[in-house]
Amino acid sequence: MSETEYVVLLDDFGNEIGTAPKADVHDTDTRLHLAFSCHVVNSQGQVLVTRRALHKKTWPGVWTNSFCGHPGPGEAVTAAVHRRGEFEVGLRVRDVELALPTFRYRAVDASGIVEHEICPVYVARTDDEPQPHPDEVAEYRWVDPLELAASLESTPWAFSPWLVLQAQQLHLFDPAPAVRRAS
């Protein structure tokens, strides 16, 4: 994207306190800001996981959820979900549902860069095959949610910390979740 992207800065209670250029926010003392995560499920009940591009500032080359992003100032989070789904993984998603409205985390990657986000988590559906943007995604896989849950439990270091934390709370990774039964 050629124009400057802004993120919404938040206080400890989740109230908007301003904006900042996205490029300036993620550092070793990242200010709390608004983001989102989305897990995309196909008609076979598989969940899309992506491997972050190798040049990403935070957690490069790490496997993570389908896609993430930051709503711009004044942008509805669900509008940002649709926008980033198309940009990052080339998918038009549908049936976007808020799964974890109050998810929040702070994590530090190996380079010392901090993620510090209030990050509502969504689950969406698609029947399309991803067309990932190479600046965002190195590769992707459709996987069985239970197999992913087992991998997250046995090798959490191979995945983004937010995916590991989200999977512990999402029913998507339960043995018989409603999202997998619905088709």
> Residues with catalytic annotation?
68, 117
User: How far, in Å, CA of 42 to CA of 171, rounded?
Assistant: 16
Which phi and psi angles does 147 have, rounded to 5°? -70, -40
User: Are 83 and 67 in contact, with CB atoms under 8 Å apart?
Assistant: no
Tokens representing residue 41 in the block: 């499920």
Tokens representing residue 79 in the block: 């509008």
User: How far, in Å, CA of 110 to CA of 121, rounded?
Assistant: 24
